């Protein structure tokens, strides 16, 4: 045992000595955790500064800057193979050729800096560019003018020390904003959206003039954008982008412009996926995209084009949101700034670069003037003869210096040895052919140029403004805004979703759902709808559509629920508890908490619904109440008109009907709407109808009133005022349609080459009708919906004669009302300068007697219409058959 203890002691002593030695040596070592921290920060910094985020000075990432530098080195005016440019760029960029080629293709597709040749891909279809050995590139004239200026460029050694590359290129234009930039680094990202070329130049000029400016994104894919929440491109901002969708005919939609960030392939895939999920209904899609986008969407018959357009925005990539993030590199550090500040800094940098170029130019011109003056003195005064007898170089220099001394007082700087050396290099042939007059003219030309450069330096801001104007005039043609800026309306998915499933009810067991296919069919619905359910005990609940929902026994009403619907009116008569009085009430259900049970009665035990009806347009029926024969009751039967009952809140108790026991309630007469006509406005900003008071009031509409729309093509149409309706840019008339009010039109008849005039009435409701001739050269000159319109004809002035006086024409007196397809009467045979619409003659139409209607508090409502077919709408939204209970 003692031997073992001694052995253990010796081992412990040895271990302690080794630990002491390791402790001393560990001070010179770095632990793995420390290495990870340092290496990770080095890597993160490298990715941020050298790969992902552009510099504010020139708007380039390092790979882009090196590509442009390589293109400049290879530039001889001819195209270079992209593979050759990529290989040349690898002298400066220590990464693979694939990353360089991809970056170069992205620059080339922006059609600003690189003049491309070959298949460079298609941003509209998403097609990739051909291999770099098949495509060619050279610098554009714009790039040569704006990006390069070697004399003011700061240079650094390339990664292997063999070459010199620019630290930053002297870009004299807000290039970062023109091209946009996107990159993801370690813990950092950037997303600067592209802006319009001409608008950037205009904004730069405004900044130089001290004026305020606003700039918004503009994308090569065109489309429509809502920049309400752009937030100057800072973190937290957002823009919404949409495809431009129009109606080709009643069964065909066409997409001509796509939103940024998509291509025709991904867009079509998203539409097909939405169709497979039942969100929309389409028959087929045709992609006819070539130089321009054209995607045709064919709809099944009975499907509303307007509603489908909204559904495309709600459920497909036809609408998406983009979150910008203005992050750039300044002084080797990330900086978060908005696009306004980016443009200001870029413009100020351009002014500074222009100043540096002018200062260098001035210095060079002064040097030219100085040597030209010395050369003239040297030759004119034959100072070159003074060196004939000198035998040493120093003697030659001193002789020339001495000979120049009397004539150099007017020079702007002292004569140096380098100047004298240059004089000795002048050839005898030049001396013999020296022309004093030409020399003087050259000096005067240099003086004029020096004065001009000094003037530019003294008026640097004006010079910079002219510089930007010259860029706009030279390169701004065909670079107008492509993406339309518009405020979007919010689309509620529940209102535009196609009804892709069926709803059933089991009244006995108290279940509602889409899986109860053996039970009673209720209506078609979508899988994102809410369902309202009411039982005979007066309980109400709203739940999301599901396969099977337990409500409770005695279900008397099931329907699709519409939020904020103040037109659907519920008529209810209930018994207030066992032996209680009977009450009547009318109410709306506008807002609820989903899956919460509400009481439509007072909630007393034994309360029971005796009569119920749901009316989508506020209909009020007449019912007959029959009492039980109890005691000495004299009146056992009487009628009640629901129109005499005010519409109140869901929780109201209602008005008492009787204190006696009710035997039954019978429906005597179906009712008509008791709601006041709906006021409808048109908001030109979002180009949609609304009931919120936004825009121009079109009028008050009853259930069967229609809207009249006339467009520039000479097409008129009347239709129900549905909130989902879309209106194109060619619309020139939008108003409430009065059937007996004539429409007056003057149009150019292409075949007869004459102006014709006509007055007509709309003959077919809900149908588009062309009221001018179908000749391709025919066009609508003007149209009026006034009762008694007046027009003025202006005549051109013949040579050497006075112009004929303007003629005023009473349209009603000129022509009577004819059919919509009639050619009309020939209006005028002479040449016409203009035809103008004047103020109409006074007219007072007969005013029909107004029917007194019940006021609904906070009335809203144009119901979301649907042309998908009357049967489905009636199932989902028409007045329920009243429910009677003994």
Which of the residues are catalytic? 134
Cross-strand partners of 254: 246, 296
Q: 177 near 338, Cβ under 8 Å? A: no
Q: What is the DSSP letter of 872?
A: H
Residue 598's φ and ψ, nearest 5 degrees, are -115, 150
Cross-strand partners of 718: 708
Q: How far apart are CA 618 and CA 879, in angstroms?
A: 9
3-class secondary-structure state, position 719: strand
Q: How many CB atoms lie within 10 A of CB 137?
A: 26
411 contacts: CB under 8 Å, gap ≥ 6: 370, 373, 374
Q: How far apart are CA 751 and CA 739, in angstroms?
A: 31
Q: How far apart are CA 349 and CA 207, in angstroms?
A: 12
Question: With 0-12 CB in 10 A as exposed, 13-18 as middle and 19+ as buried, what is 845?
Answer: exposed
Q: What angle do CA 12, 15, 20 make, to 5 degrees?
A: 125
Q: 66 near 86, Cβ under 8 Å? A: no
Q: How far apart are CA 67 and CA 84, in angstroms?
A: 11
Q: How far apart are CA 817 and CA 401, in angstroms?
A: 104
SS3 content of the chain, % helix, strand, coil (to 5): 30, 25, 45
Q: How far apart are CA 118 and CA 107, in angstroms?
A: 15
Q: How many CB atoms lie within 10 A of CB 199?
A: 20
561 contacts: CB under 8 Å, gap ≥ 6: 529, 530, 531, 532, 542, 589, 592
Q: 699 near 707, Cβ under 8 Å? A: no
Nearest to residue 295, comparing CAs of 321, 322, 317?
317
Q: Quickly list DSSP for 762-794.
A: --STT--EE-S---TT-EEEEEE--SS-EEEEE
């Amino acid at each position: 045992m003692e031997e073992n203890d001694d052995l253990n002691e010796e081992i412990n002593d040895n271990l302690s000595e080794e630990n002491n030695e390791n402790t001393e040596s560990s001070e010179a070592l770095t632990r793995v955790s420390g290495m990870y921290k340092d290496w990770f920060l080095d890597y993160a910094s490298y990715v941020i500064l050298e790969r992902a985020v552009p510099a504010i000075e020139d708007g380039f990432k390092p790979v882009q800057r090196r590509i442009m530098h390589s293109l400049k080195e290879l530039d001889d005016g001819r195209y270079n193979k992209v593979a050759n440019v990529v290989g040349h760029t690898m002298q400066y960029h220590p990464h693979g050729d694939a990353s360089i080629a991809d970056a170069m293709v992205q620059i080339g597709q922006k059609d600003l800096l690189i003049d491309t040749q070959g298949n460079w891909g298609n941003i509209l279809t998403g097609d990739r560019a051909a291999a770099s050995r098949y495509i060619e590139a050279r610098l554009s004239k714009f790039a040569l003018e704006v990006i390069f200026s070697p004399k003011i460029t700061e240079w650094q050694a390339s990664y292997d020390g063999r070459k010199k590359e620019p630290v930053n290129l002297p870009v004299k234009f807000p290039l970062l904003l023109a091209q946009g930039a996107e990159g993801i680094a370690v813990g950092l990202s950037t997303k600067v959206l592209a802006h319009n070329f001409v608008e950037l130049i205009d904004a730069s000029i405004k900044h130089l003039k001290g004026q305020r400016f606003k700039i918004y994104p503009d994308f090569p894919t065109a489309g429509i954008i809502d920049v309400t929440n752009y937030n100057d491109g800072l973190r937290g901002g957002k823009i919404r982008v949409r495809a431009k969708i129009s109606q080709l005919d009643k069964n065909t939609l066409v997409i001509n412009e796509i939103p940024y960030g998509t291509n025709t392939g991904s867009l079509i895939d998203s539409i097909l996926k939405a169709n497979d999920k039942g969100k929309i209904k389409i028959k087929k899609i045709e992609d006819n995209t070539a130089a321009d986008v054209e995607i045709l969407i064919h709809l099944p018959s009975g499907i509303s084009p307007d509603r489908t357009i909204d559904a495309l925005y709600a459920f497909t990539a036809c609408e998406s949101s983009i979150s910008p993030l203005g992050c750039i590199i300044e002084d080797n550090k990330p900086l978060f700034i908005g696009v306004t500040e980016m443009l200001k800094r870029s413009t100020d940098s351009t002014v500074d670069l222009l100043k540096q170029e002018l200062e260098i130019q001035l210095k060079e011109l002064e040097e030219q003037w100085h040597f030209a003056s010395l050369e003239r003195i040297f030759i004119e005064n034959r100072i070159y003869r003074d060196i004939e007898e000198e035998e040493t170089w120093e003697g030659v220099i001193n002789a020339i210096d001495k000979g120049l001394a009397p004539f150099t007082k007017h020079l702007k700087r002292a004569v140096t040895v380098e100047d004298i050396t240059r004089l000795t290099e002048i050839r005898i042939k030049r001396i013999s052919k020296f022309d004093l007059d030409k020399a003087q003219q050259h000096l005067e030309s240099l003086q004029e140029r020096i004065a001009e450069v000094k003037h530019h330096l003294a008026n640097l801001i004006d010079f910079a403004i002219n510089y930007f104007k010259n860029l706009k005039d030279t390169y701004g043609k065909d670079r107008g805004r492509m993406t339309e800026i518009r405020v979007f309306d919010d689309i509620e998915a529940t209102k535009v979703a196609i009804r892709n499933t069926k709803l059933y009810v089991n009244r006995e067991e108290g279940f509602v759902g889409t899986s109860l296919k053996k039970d009673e069919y209720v209506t078609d619905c979508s899988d994102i709808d809410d369902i309202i359910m009411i039982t005979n005990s007066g309980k109400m609940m709203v739940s999301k559509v599901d396969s099977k929902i337990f409500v409770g026994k005695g279900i008397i009403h099931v329907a699709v629920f519409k939020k904020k619907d103040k037109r659907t009116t519920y008529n209810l008569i209930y018994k207030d508890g066992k032996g209680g009085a009977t009450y009547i009430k009318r109410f709306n259900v506008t807002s609820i908490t989903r899956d919460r049970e509400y009481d439509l009665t007072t909630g007393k035990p034994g309360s029971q619904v005796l009569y119920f009806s749901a009316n989508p347009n506020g209909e009020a029926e007449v019912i007959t109440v029959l009492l039980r024969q109890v005691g000495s009751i004299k009146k056992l039967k009487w009628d009640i008109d629901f129109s005499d009952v005010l519409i109140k809140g869901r929780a109201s108790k209602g008005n008492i009907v009787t204190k006696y026991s009710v035997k039954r309630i019978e429906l005597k007469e179906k009712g008509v709407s008791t709601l006041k006509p709906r006021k409808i406005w048109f908001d030109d900003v979002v180009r949609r109808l609304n009931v919120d008071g936004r825009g121009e009031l079109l009028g008050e509409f009853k259930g069967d009133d229609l809207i009249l729309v006339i467009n520039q093509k000479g097409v008129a149409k009347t239709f129900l005022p549905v909130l989902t309706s879309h209106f194109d840019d060619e619309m020139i008339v939008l108003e409430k349609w009065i059937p007996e009010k004539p429409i007056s039109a003057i149009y150019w008849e292409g075949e007869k080459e004459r102006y014709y005039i006509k007055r007509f009435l709309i003959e077919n409701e809900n149908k588009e009708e062309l009221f001018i001739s179908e000749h391709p050269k025919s066009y609508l000159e003007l149209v009026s919906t006034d009762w008694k319109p007046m027009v003025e004809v202006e005549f051109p002035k013949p040579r050497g004669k006075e112009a004929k006086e303007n003629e005023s024409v009473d349209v009603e007196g000129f022509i009577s009302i004819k059919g919509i397809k009639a050619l009309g009467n020939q209006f005028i045979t002479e040449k016409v300068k203009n035809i103008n619409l004047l103020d109409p003659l006074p007219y007072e139409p007969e005013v029909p007697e107004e029917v007194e209607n019940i006021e609904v508090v906070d009335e809203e409502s144009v119901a979301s219409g649907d042309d998908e077919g009357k049967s489905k709408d009636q199932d989902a939204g028409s007045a329920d058959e009243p429910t009677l209970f003994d």
